[in-house]
Amino acid sequence: MATETTDTLVVPSAQAHTGQGLGTGNPADAFVIEPARTRTKKTPRRTRTNFEMLAWLFMRLSGVVLVVLILGHLLINIVLDGGVSKISFAFVAGKWASPFWQGWDLLMLWLAMLHGANGMRTVINDYAEKDSTRLWLKLLLGAATVFTVLLGTLVIFTFDPNI
Amino acid sequence: MPAGTLYRGREGMWSWVAHRVTGVLIFFFLFAHVLDTALVRVSPQAYDSVIATYKTPLVNLMEYGLTAAILFHALNGLRVVAVDFWAKGPKYQKQMLWTVVGVWVVLMAGAFYPILQHTLRTWFGG
């Protein structure tokens, strides 16, 4: 029986992005979850910016840099030279006496926080179904991110070894 | 199993799940880590006392777990970049995942003693 089971419209695969159906012509499509961020009638045909594409590109570029920064950070702080045993205020003071490590940590802080915040934004968009829940979670995320980035930046720039 | 319960399964979906779970874990640690490091602006004693908890056996083990999460996220992230930017990436995504898993196992085995040496030396001397 090839009767309609839902109001999902079957469209050719070339039009699958319109959200009017999955386009394979298979009646079982009615039970399959639609692709994420499917274009709907409400989706503007043109947006002012390429924000989502830039965010996608940023994740890849920052990710590659973070592999070097974070694995280097782990290697020096908790793998080599006795592991975590050596970490103390004096160890931090020794590292931040060098502009190289100050710059390393500053770049790592900014890239990791922005990479992580954008990842969390994606997770919130995927799982929080209510508009208001998404809004509040993203506002909280934004506030926490700005606070943490500014705090960390302030700490690196105002560090005083003779405190 | 009703359709829709599992997206596609196999390497593609499970690596995506693991990437997401490790990413969220790392992000929450990052918050805590910036806050604990900020104690260097309070006093050397305040910083050293919070670092003392990093040297307890349980937290030391959690550092090994954090390293495991970061290393998987890093290696699988490089695989995602390869899938997106390398013409043959999608074709070899499964092979690349098993390469990621292999490299991860070797590096985690190598990191076992260096990261946990603080606890191991406390327990067994040396």
Q: How many CB pairs under 8 A join A and B?
A: 114
A-chain CB neighbours of B84 within 8 Å are: 60
Instruction: Note whether A108 contacts B: Cβ–Cβ < 8 A.
Output: no
B1 pLDDT exceeds 50?
no
Summarised one tens digit per residue, pLDDT across range A34-66 is 666 667 777 777 777 889 999 999 999 999 999
Q: Would you give per-residue pLDDT tens digits along chain A (163 residues)?
A: 444 455 555 555 545 455 455 556 666 666 666 666 667 777 777 777 889 999 999 999 999 999 999 999 999 999 999 999 999 999 999 999 999 999 999 999 999 999 999 999 999 999 998 999 999 999 999 999 999 999 999 999 999 999 8
CA–CA distance, B66 with B75 (Å, rounded to integer): 14
B20 at interface of A, judged by CB pairs closer than 8 A:
yes
ipTM computed for the complex: 0.91
pLDDT value, residue A1: 44
The one-letter amino acid code at B10 reads R
Query: Are B72 and B104 in contact, with CB atoms under 8 Å apart?
Result: yes
CA pseudo-torsion sign A141, A144, A150, A151: negative
Q: Quick one: closest CA in A to B66, which residue? A: A74
Q: pTM for this structure?
A: 0.82
Write out the DSSP string of chain B: --TTSSSS-HHHHHHHHHHHHHHHHHHHHHHHHHHHHGGGGT-HHHHHHHHHHHTSHHHHHHHHHHHHHHHHHHHHHHHHHHHHHSTTTTTTHHHHHHHHHHHHHHHHHHHHHHHHHHHHHHHH--
Q: Is the pLDDT of residue B76 over 60?
A: yes
Place of tokens 């043109």: A46
